Amino acid sequence: MTHAMLKGSNVPLEATTVRAVLRWTPGQGVPDVDASALLLGPDGRVRSDEDFVFYNQPRHPSGQVWRLGKKQVAEALTDTIQTDLSGVESAVGRILLVASADGVTFDRVQSLRILLYDATVADAEPLAFFDVKPETGEETALICGELYRRGEGWKFRALGEGYSNGLKGLATDFGISVDESEQAEQSERSEGPTRVTPRPEVSQPLPPEQPTAAVPSQPAYGYPQPQPQAQAQAQPSYGYPQPTSAAPSYGYPQQAPTAQGYGYPNPATPDPNFQLPPQGPQFIGR
């Protein structure tokens, strides 16, 4: 017979090994939920950090409480804690069954329910279930219920108590020393990995190369400076005087320019021994 439980109600457990299953409906914007357990001593606090069973420490050192992990069941997701009640140390009086979704509030978790099964019976109906509803909607961690000793046996109580500061705040209240790196890792798990799409590389044109001015070398003392190589001049039109050449280097004799006939090539220097050939009768004066 399955017991549908209300907040604050309890039910005795005949099973020696109990499987507590958290179940919720996934969807867009729904956070991932993690199940965990805290084993409390007579003072209502953990004896050491080893009494905290969660995703980074999935099994208690005693071997009597462990986390089975997540599963897809029909249209729901589950995360499970299993406990061998017959082997739990006598110093442990209560075992809290916790759901956490740090970074996202439980008002976005749809149809959260905790179900208890007899783990020794395959495909059995649940012994009890409790629909967990946050009181304010701002909770990021919830104590869904607890397994506790009553005389020689065990009972389950439906709780639904919430914390707005997540699993860290809840665990700290019961004596757990939560490392900041573990808290950051839990936040990453709750938020899920962020997928980054690399931007395509855009080839940018290279800027035009700027001409580099040549640095003149230091001339040797007492020698003429080398002149820069003159650019080739355009061929002057025929019949116009030719441009004069560049000034000669300092320290050398100047060569006198030869006079040019306008529009004609320069005449050669006359030979003093030159004589005209004998002239014919047509050229003799009358």
- Residue pLDDT tens, the chain, 286 long: 899 999 999 999 999 999 999 999 998 889 999 999 999 999 999 999 999 999 999 999 999 999 998 999 888 999 999 999 999 999 999 999 999 997 789 999 999 999 999 999 998 899 999 999 988 889 999 999 999 999 999 999 999 999 999 999 999 999 998 665 444 454 444 443 322 233 333 334 444 444 444 444 454 445 455 554 444 444 544 455 555 544 444 555 555 545 455 555 555 666 677 666 666 555 555 4
SS3 169: helix
Cα-based distances in Å from 209 to 46, 203, 205, 212, 216 = 72, 18, 12, 9, 21
pLDDT value for 64: 97
pLDDT value for 271: 66
Q: What DSSP letter does each residue of 88-100 carry, written as one string?
A: S-TT--EEEEEEE
pLDDT value for 270: 63
User: Which amino acid appears at position 188 of this protein?
Assistant: E
Cβ–Cβ under 8 Å, residues 116 and 126 = yes
pLDDT value for 74: 85
Those residues whose C-beta lies under 8 Å from the C-beta of residue 208, and which sit 6 or more positions away, are none
pTM of the full structure: 0.63
Distant-in-sequence contacts of 217-224, Cβ < 8 A, 24+ apart: 224/249, 224/250, 224/251, 224/252
- Cα distance between residue 172 and residue 177, in whole Å: 6
pLDDT value for 137: 87
pLDDT value for 241: 54
Among 174, 133, 158, smallest CA distance to 39 is for 174
SS3 186: helix
- Cα distance between residue 265 and residue 101, in whole Å: 105
pLDDT value for 281: 57
Among 65, 76, 74, 61, smallest CA distance to 30 is for 76
User: Is the Cα torsion angle 170, 172, 175, 177 positive or negative in sign?
Assistant: positive
Among 257, 239, 240, smallest CA distance to 248 is for 257
pLDDT value for 280: 57
Residues paired with 79 in a beta bridge: 22, 70
